[in-house]
Structure formats: C-alpha cells, structure tokens
Structure 1
Amino acid sequence: MKIIIFGLGNFGTSLALKLTETGNEVIGIDHKMEKINLVKDKIAHTICMDATNELAYDAIPLKDTNIAVVAIGENEGAAIITTAILKKITKADIISRSLSPIHDTVLKAMGINRIVHPEQEAAEKLTSKINLKNVIDSFNIDKNYSISEIKINARMSGKTLQELSFRQHYNLNVVTILRDCEKTNLLGNKMQKKEVIGIPNNETKLQENDILIVFGNNNDITAFGVDLAE
C-alpha cells in the first residue's frame, strides 16, 4: 500500500519504519528537517513541509495514497488542522492520533473513525508482555483470550507441528508463523524481514527464529511461555 505519515516523532518514525519493513511504500512528512534526515534513507520518500498549510498539499501524491496517518504528537492544534485538511481534500483512509479526550471528541465530530492512542496502547501491550511470559507481543480478544507472538526455542527447531503434538500438548491454535527472509528495499539495500508463511498444517516444519502467532487462553499462553524458558 501507499501510505503517507504526517509527523515523524517517535511514534510516526517507528510506524514508518515498520510499515516499510512489511513492504509498504511510505512517505514521511514533518516540518523539522532534522527529523526528515533521520529517516530519509530508510523509507520511500520524505517531504519537509508545514502540514497546516493547505497550499503545500499540491506537492503530495494524495490521489494515489491508500492511507494517510496523522501521527503528530507535539501540537494538538496542528494535528487537528492537518486532519481537517486531509478530510477535505482526499478520499484516502485517514488514521489520526489523539492526544486527549477533547481531541477524541473533535476527531469523531469530523467523522474520523480510526483513532489511535499510542501511549495507552503501548502501556496495554507492555502489561500483556509482563503478564504473559516470553510473549513478544499480544492482542487481547477479551480478558481471558489473546492472540500472541511467541518465539520458538532450540528444542522445537526442525520439528513439525505434528511431531510436537502442538495443539494437544499446549492447547493453543497456531494461526500462522513469522519467518526470517531477506528482502531488497526500494533503495536496493538488502535487509532481514519477518514474512508470514501462510496457514500452517501438521506437516509444517519449524525453523530457527520462527515466531508463532497463537490463539488461546491466557493461562495456556503463559504455560507455553514458561515451557519455552525451561
């Protein structure tokens, strides 16, 4: 997908790099040149501009953009104005960062349905990582069930899911597997990335550094993490 990110602070930069690593074409925009310089060689394109100036948008390929992300975190007014301009001039899907409950209210009044709260979401993810041992990342379905990323240990490498009796032994469902692969980015540089291998079956053989995406009860996920650490 083609994605434009407005605001290259910690959140915007991390998002730009992650989206680039997963194969998206990302344009990063910020009004500070020092922030542009930090990512200009790592993503598809960067533009230094004031996102609150509607006339500046003529230089941006919004017509071909799938998603516009307002990641501005230092200035609530600038974030709101940027979102308002995007709502007016583009049909791209808009995702906007909210900095306060009032900001939430304004965004909802604009008709923005995809609102993110990075700090709150990061705290919730960190809580899950602490509570679910050896879990890399986790998404809570409800208070009892989660989808979690868990890196396998050396004992599992080279074995199939059937040989491990995975479902029976751990009471977890393997949704998919993330596996290391080498990719060439838009600048021609080779980089290691995690790639989804699709839907695994009993004959799927695990490899070193594989990350399992599992679904199940939080207690079973914790037990699996403890087993891996032993």
Structure 2
Amino acid sequence: MKIIIFGLGNFGMSLAVNLTETGNEVIGIDNDMNKVNMVKHQISHAICMDATNEMAYQALPVKDADLAVIAIGENEGAAIITTAIIKKLSQARIIGRSLSPIHDTVLNAMGIETIIHPEQDFADRLAKKINLKGIVDNFSIDKNYSISEIKAVPDFTGKTLEELAFRQTYNLHVVTIIRKQARKSIIGTTSQIDQSEGFITKDSIIMEDDLLVVFGLNKDIGKFCNRYQQKKR
C-alpha cells in the first residue's frame, strides 16, 4: 500500500517504521526537520513541510495514496486542517487521530470513519492488564468483546483443548496458542521468542508457559482470570 502519515511524533514515527518494515511504501511528513532526519533512513520517504499549507501538497502524490493517517498529536487545529485538505485533494481512506471529544465530533462530521485514540486505547489495555491478573495483552473488539492473551493455568499443561472444553466451561473461544520457541542468532547464541501455533484443533495440546489467545465477552474473560488467580493461591 501507498501510505502517507502526517505527524512524526512517537506514535506517528513508530507507525511509519512498522508499516515500512511490513512492505508498505510510506511517506512520513512533519514540520520539524529533526523528526524528519530521525526517521528518513527507516521509511520510504520523509518530508519536512507544513501540512496546513495546501500549496505545499502540489509535489506530494496524495492522489496516488491508498491511505492517509493524520497522526498529529499536539495541535488539534493543524490536525483538522490537514484532514480537510486530504479530503479535498485525495480519495484515499483516512484514519484520524483524535485529541479530544470535540475533535471526535469534528472528524465524525467530516465523514472520517476510522478515528483512533492511541493514548486512551493504551491506557484501557494497561488497566485490563493490571486489573485482570494473568492477561498479557488485550485488544478490544467493542465495548463487550475482546481478544486477550492469557497465561495458561498450570492445570492445563498436557491437556488438549477438547479435554478442557473451553467453550462449554468458560464460554471462551481459543483462537490460537502462542508458544516459546528457541532461536539461534547468527553468532550462535540462543534466545526464546513467542511464536503462534497458527490454526489449532481440538487435539492441540497446551504446554507449560503457553499463552492462550482467547475471544469472548469481557465478563467471561474476567471470570476466567479470577479463577486463574484462585488456582494460584
């Protein structure tokens, strides 16, 4: 994909680098030359320009872009103006970063379907990790459902998913299993990495230290984690 990211702060820069590493052509834009210099060798193109100046877009291939991410994180006015210019000049899908409830309202009024709140989303995920012991990571699907990485209860070791009857017992669906795998570096040292087991079946066996990626209602995930804690006591 051809992606333009406006705003190269911590969030925008990390996103630009990750998208480049996964095979996308990424143009990163910021009005701070220091930020542009920091990332210019890690992404396809890095440009220093004022994104609120419509004339500056003449040399920018906005019409060829598949996606534009407005990741500006400090100046709400600049973010809104940039969004408006992209809406005018391009048919690209737009992802807008919102900085406030009013910003949400403006982006909705502009017809931006994908609105993100990186700080709020991270805080929500961190709160779940703190409150629900056993959760390693969590991704909310909506206000009721989540996908969570949960440490396998020691009692599960050596048992199959069919034996554990996850759906019937916990009302949770196990999507996959993440397992520690040994990997050798080019200098011969060995390290442990997390690796998905891919598509799993009822015969898949849970091993010690496995992470279970489960999908279900937040309340059911919470019940499972509470039961997990009771087993540890």
TM-score interval for Structure 1 and Structure 2 normalised by the shorter chain:
0.7 to 0.9
Secondary structure in 1 aligned to 2:99? coil
Distance (whole Å) between structure 1 residues aligned to residue 68 and residue 231 of structure 2: 40
Distance (whole Å) between structure 2 residues aligned to residue 59 and residue 180 of structure 1: 48
- Code of the aligned partner of 2:7: G
Distance (whole Å) between structure 2 residues aligned to residue 99 and residue 166 of structure 1: 43
Distance (whole Å) between structure 2 residues aligned to residue 173 and residue 88 of structure 1: 44
Map 1:147-226 to 2 at 5 A.
147-150=147-150, 161-162=160-161, 165=164, 167=166, 172-177=172-177, 198-204=198-204, 211-216=211-216, 217-223=220-226, 226=229
- Code of the aligned partner of 1:222: C
Match of 1:93 in 2: 93
Distance (whole Å) between structure 2 residues aligned to residue 56 and residue 99 of structure 1: 24
CA 1:145–1:88: 2 relative to 1, 3 Å? closer
Secondary structure in 1 aligned to 2:125? helix
The C-alpha deviation readout for 1:154-209, integer Å capped at 9, x for no partner, is: 9989x684487472776532223567999xxxxxxxxxx97766432234567898
Match of 1:75 in 2: 75
The C-alpha deviation readout for 1:124-174, integer Å capped at 9, x for no partner, is: 1211111122323213456665311236699989x6844874727765322
Secondary structure in 1 aligned to 2:176? strand
Q: Cα offset for 1:39?
A: 2.3
Structure 1 stretch displaced more, 88-97 or 103-112: 103-112
1:119 and 2:119 matched: yes
Larger radius of gyration: 2
Q: Cα offset for 1:9?
A: 1.0
CA 1:95–1:143: 2 relative to 1, 3 Å? closer
- Code of the aligned partner of 2:101: P
Structure 1, unpaired ranges of 5+:
183-192
CA 1:144–1:118: 2 relative to 1, 3 Å? closer
Q: Cα offset for 1:24?
A: 3.8
Match of 2:57 in 1: 57
Distance (whole Å) between structure 2 residues aligned to residue 154 and residue 4 of structure 1: 46
Match of 1:186 in 2: none
The answer on whether the counterparts of 2:4 and 2:28 sit within 8 Å (CA) in structure 1 is yes
Give the share of equivalent positions with the same residue, in percent: 58
Distance (whole Å) between structure 1 residues aligned to residue 79 and residue 19 of structure 2: 21
Structure 2, unpaired ranges of 5+:
184-192
Distance (whole Å) between structure 1 residues aligned to residue 149 and residue 15 of structure 2: 19
How many residues are aligned here? 220
The C-alpha deviation readout for 1:201-225, integer Å capped at 9, x for no partner, is: 2345678987542113123441476
Q: Cα offset for 1:66?
A: 2.1
Secondary structure in 1 aligned to 2:133? coil
TM-score by structure 2 length? 0.73
- Code of the aligned partner of 1:38: M
The answer on whether the counterparts of 2:172 and 2:221 sit within 8 Å (CA) in structure 1 is no
Secondary structure in 2 aligned to 1:34? helix
Distance (whole Å) between structure 2 residues aligned to residue 153 and residue 105 of structure 1: 44
Distance (whole Å) between structure 2 residues aligned to residue 195 and residue 10 of structure 1: 27
